[in-house]
Amino acid sequence: MFEVSQAPDKLAEYRRAATDITVISLKSAELKRLISEKPEFIEISFPFNGNQQITVEMYKNQIFTSNFKVVTNKGKTVNYTPGVYYQGIVKGNSSSVVAFSFFDNDVAGVASTPELGNIVLGKAKNADDFVSYSDSKLTGTNPFICGIDELKENQGEKISYNPGLAQKKTLTQNCVRIYYEICYKPYQNNGSNTTTVTNWITAIHNNIATLYTNDDIRTALNEVYIWTTADPYTGNPSSNLAKFSANRQVFNGDLAHLINAPSTTSVAYLNSLCKTYAHAYSGINQTYNNVPVYSWTIQAMTHEMGHSLGSPHTHACAWNGNNTPIDWCGPTAMPSIITNEGLICTSNVLPPSGTIMSYCHLMSGIGINFSNGFGDQPAALIRNTIDSKPCLGTNCTTSCVPSISSVAATSTTQNSASILITDAISSSWKYKVTQLDGTAVTAGNTNTANFNIANLQPEPIIK
């Protein structure tokens, strides 16, 4: 399907972006045949780093729910024909991970191996050329920064990993349905074309879904919403996320993710499934020096979704069963993280290459390798979090929409509390009263939004 381009004059220009880049020509007839036949299994090769050939073995990947749709801010449903999406491995390398997406006149994907890192294949900006390169050879620095410490909603989330979770390494029973909202700038960057921007985001999601699947985490893409006119998300990342959360209290999915450009701090609410703020925000760059940087986008979006699904950073004081870090990439690269994230632990562990929830992309010579996935502990924590959420469906097509807008104690005594639930949808609720340390005090069911909880005992603090 691919061959080395016979236009060597282009190579010097592209190598301003990545020093090992190879310029590739696409064999259009073979692409058309693949899209037409949609085989269940494929094996293809592509040139890399000059005359080297990378051969990948893949199977067709279903990344959508049965209700998948594309709509615009004008209320128009887009007549979208999806591409063909595959995931698999580099031939002969069971530790690798690959996801490629095929469209009319376009191919996009990433193949990652422990030895070569993340190999990007895609079309150059404003050209018919395709390129392949390892993202460790890019001449620019991945600008991704995560801002979860900036959100007051996250400061009360004290997550600690239980080593017993690692014993459960099975596919999640529950499935997380994803809703993407694409801001106006990424739409413009994709030629102001709804099909082109949807091809781009579904190709990105194919890689994201593959990374989650490799760690036994089920996801499915349910809706893409596209701003074809100016959007309201013009503030800083935290304010954009807050506005997005306020604007999209009802959406078609379990997790809503706003995608904007250019690359800025990205941010998400931690452990937010089944809450009224199940939202994430990613500011991304699609290209660097006219070269597609799919791996940068995949990393940022997968990372922020990982926070929404319950995982802290790997440098957080939350792991190993004793509240210590997995690695110390983030604080080594940016010592200000220690203060910003309130870290009271320390470490000197720097891995050969990092995992998705790490900051190892900031460390020269280390980076993040998608073949590492999330790592055992974050993956186990995410799986457990997903399967503990009662609002999620098990078949990737249904879920219970979070509908409670507020809960308030309207009056209290030393032994009772009157509770008011504001909910425009539901008519019955479960409740639980706990001490601050999580110890259960009482629990029950109610069919009335205004009810009384009696027989409480005075405590310094309950929640």
Span 143-182, pLDDT tens digits = 999 999 888 888 778 888 888 876 677 899 999 999 999 9
Residue 159 has a pLDDT of 86
CA triple 70-74-76, angle to 5 deg: 40
Task: Report the range of poorest mean pLDDT among 252-261, 327-336, 363-372, 397-406.
Answer: 397-406
**Angle between the N-to-C axes of helices 194-214 and 294-308, in degrees from 0 to 180, rounded to the nearest 10:** 60
Percent of the chain residues topping a pLDDT of 70:
96
Question: How far is it, in rounded angstroms, from Cα 103 to Cα 356?
Answer: 27
* Burial profile 169-188: b = 16 or more Cβ within 10 angstroms, e = fewer: eeebebbbbbbbbbbbbbbe
Long-range (24+ apart) CB contacts under 8 A made by 111-116 are: 111/54, 111/56, 112/369, 112/370, 112/371, 113/371, 114/353, 114/369, 114/371, 114/372, 116/48
Question: CA 42, 287, 122: angle at the middle one, nearest 5?
Answer: 15
CA atoms of 315 and 349, how far apart (whole Å):
10
CB 80 within 8 A of CB 198: yes
Higher per-residue pLDDT: 193 or 461? 193
Query: Cβ of 55: how many Cβ atoms within 10 Å?
Result: 13
Look at residue 436 and tell me whether its pLDDT is greater than 60: no
Give the pTM: 0.86
Query: What is the per-residue pLDDT for 113?
Result: 98
> Which band of pLDDT confidence, cut at 50, 70 and 90, is reported for residue 440?
confident
Asked whether residue 120 carries a pLDDT value surpassing 50, the answer given is yes
CATH 3.40.390.10 in the chain, residue ranges: 145-387
Question: How many angstroms separate the CA atoms of 139 and 126, rounded?
Answer: 20
Does residue 392 carry a pLDDT above 50? yes
DSSP state of 138: B
What are the φ/ψ torsions at residue 452 (nearest 5 degrees)? Answer: -115, 135
Whole-angstrom distance, CA of residue 246 vs CA of residue 250:
9
Confidence at residue 211, expressed as pLDDT on a 0 to 100 scale: 98
What's the CATH architecture for 145-387? 3-Layer(aba) Sandwich (3.40)
So what's the pLDDT on residue 244?
98
Residue 402: predicted pLDDT: 56
Residues 6+ apart with CB under 8 A from 352: 366
Structure confidence at residue 463 as a pLDDT band (50, 70, 90)? very low
Per-residue pLDDT, averaged over 129-136, amounts to: 96
Residue bearing tokens 């690359």: 263
Angstrom CA distances, 377 to 106, 136, 167, 380, stand at: 37, 25, 10, 5
- Residue 23: pLDDT above 60? yes
User: What average pLDDT does the segment 86-108 reach?
Assistant: 97
Instruction: Specify the pLDDT at position 8.
Output: 72
Q: How far apart are CA 276 and CA 423, in angstroms?
A: 11
The answer to whether 175 and 81 have CB atoms below 8 angstroms apart is: no
288: β partners? 291
Tokens of 404: 């409670």
Region 38-61: mean pLDDT is 96
Integer Cα distance of 189 and 420 in angstroms: 47
Q: Are 142 and 299 in contact (CB under 8 A)?
A: yes
Asked if residue 262 has a cis previous peptide bond (ω within 30° of 0), the answer is yes
